[in-house]
Structure 1
Amino acid sequence: MSEIPPFHPEWLVSFWLGTPILNTINPHFVLIVLIAVLIFKLIKRRKNTHEHDYEEMQFQLLLKKKAVIEEQMTELERNKKLGEVTDLQYSKIIEEYKQHLDTVKKELLRFTQERVG
């Protein structure tokens, strides 16, 4: 049975074996280490990208929540002017909306401070 020739280019073999420090190191181990480092870097980069995407989605969600609450407050004021909501109902509901809006604004402030800081 004939042996399969190695798939190493001649210039690479002569370079590796002709260099004083490199000829003492097994090239296959060096290749394995390089591949492991490359895989580690790619995984780390992908993880950072996903974390950034998740934070961006959370920020956009908070912006939408803020807009919806402000819309609901405007609608409630219109309903009060039209007489569809009593003063007692209005004050109770508007207070709940204000509390929710304050919470959302605090979260938005936290996100913007983290991005700047």
Structure 2
Amino acid sequence: MNAGQPRRHLLTTGWSAFVNKKKLVSGDAVLFLRGEDGELRLGVRRAAQLKSSSNFSSISGQQLNLGSLTDIVNALSTRCAFNIHYNPRIGSSEFIIPMHKFLKSLDYSYSVGM
């Protein structure tokens, strides 16, 4: 369905069923991508779920300060695990990259701890 000015597409038919089947919650993002072959692809990026009973420290970009940096250095020096949470919706859209850059990144192998 097209509506409004400028013209835009609205998802209507089947959207509620999709949301329920995928168990989407507020903050989840639905991504629409067109592959090099022209095929439309759909992806879901889940909202970060903070777990209160985690065994390692958690750091958010919104609360980053000198104490947080000290925590990171200590975790690294003692070889302990830690999380860094980044919410791109708050800042600029540098999080979104062109598809060709993403596809090129698949050519490199990454390992945990890099």
TM-score by length of 1: 0.20
The structure number with the bigger radius of gyration is 1
- Hey, which of these two has a bigger chunk of strand by percent? 2
**TM-score (ref. length: structure 2):** 0.21
Tell me: higher relative CO, structure 1 or 2? Use CA pairs within 8 A at least 6 residues apart. Answer: 1
Normalized per residue, the structure richer in helix is 1
